[in-house]
Homo-oligomer: A and B are copies of this chain.
């Protein structure tokens, strides 16, 4: 457990819980709606299960999370009120931490995020498969499929075998930037960094199939004087 700051300031008391590594990312996952251990885990893939377990228990002890008998982890009233904290951090990070290192790019995580943001109504009826190709990604994570249907969306890293409606090809960084809202689909496609292939009508509507990241629409800082 974190050492106490020995301060009565509420910011310090809050940070005693929240400033430990990974804690706020776990909260972020719960705020995003994950409830099961392995569901949370997909959102923090670099975190060891031991540590995730520890963090979840800390959050339960702190009264931020309730663990249900069925194994679900649900935010308590206190936990739900952490949403503004997560939002403030995401907003700030979006505006002021623009540069992503290569190590920050993760196709599995990107697919996992995107699958959560599919707008069912914008996608054609029935089953629609979107293939993503990242020629620059490591072997084994170059090809991905999102299988979108009325039941929801599945992420596959092996060919599910269904007919592919659209294929998006480009550098992982380009799609990540679009997802984050650093640039638009139009921009990335126009610059030739993302190539969408498939029927024209689908190609045109593709940008509407995803709501993109929660923070994509945050206004970026304008170049300003002091």
A interface residues, Cβ below 8 angstroms from B: 2-25, 28, 44, 46, 63-64, 77-78, 81-82, 84-97, 100-101, 103-106, 109-110, 113, 176, 179-180, 213, 215, 221, 224, 226
Q: Are B12's CB and A25's CB within 8 A?
A: yes
Contacts of A5 in B (CB 8 A): 22, 25, 46, 104
Q: Are A8's CB and B180's CB within 8 A?
A: yes
Q: Are B97's CB and A14's CB within 8 A?
A: yes
Chain A at the B interface: SS class:
helix
Query: Could you pull out 11 A-B pairs where Cβ atoms are within 8 angstroms?
Result: A5-B25, A6-B103, A9-B113, A10-B180, A11-B24, A13-B93, A13-B97, A15-B24, A18-B89, A77-B221, A78-B95
Copies of this chain: 2
Q: Are B6's CB and A106's CB within 8 A?
A: yes
Contacts of A89 in B (CB 8 A): 10-11, 14-15, 18, 85
Most-contacted residue by chain B among A2, A11, A13, A100 (CB, 10 A): A11
Contacts of A19 in B (CB 8 A): 18-21, 23-24
Tell me how far the C-beta of A14 lies from the nearest C-beta in chain B, rounded to whole angstroms: 3
Contacts of A84 in B (CB 8 A): 88, 91-92
Contacts of A15 in B (CB 8 A): 24-25, 89, 93
Task: A17 to B97: give the CA distance in the assembly, Å.
Answer: 10
Residue from the list B3, B10, B109 in contact with A215, Cβ < 8 A: B10
Q: Are A104's CB and B176's CB within 8 A?
A: no
Tell me how far the C-beta of A79 lies from the nearest C-beta in chain B, rounded to whole angstroms: 9
Tell me how far the C-beta of A69 lies from the nearest C-beta in chain B, rounded to whole angstroms: 15
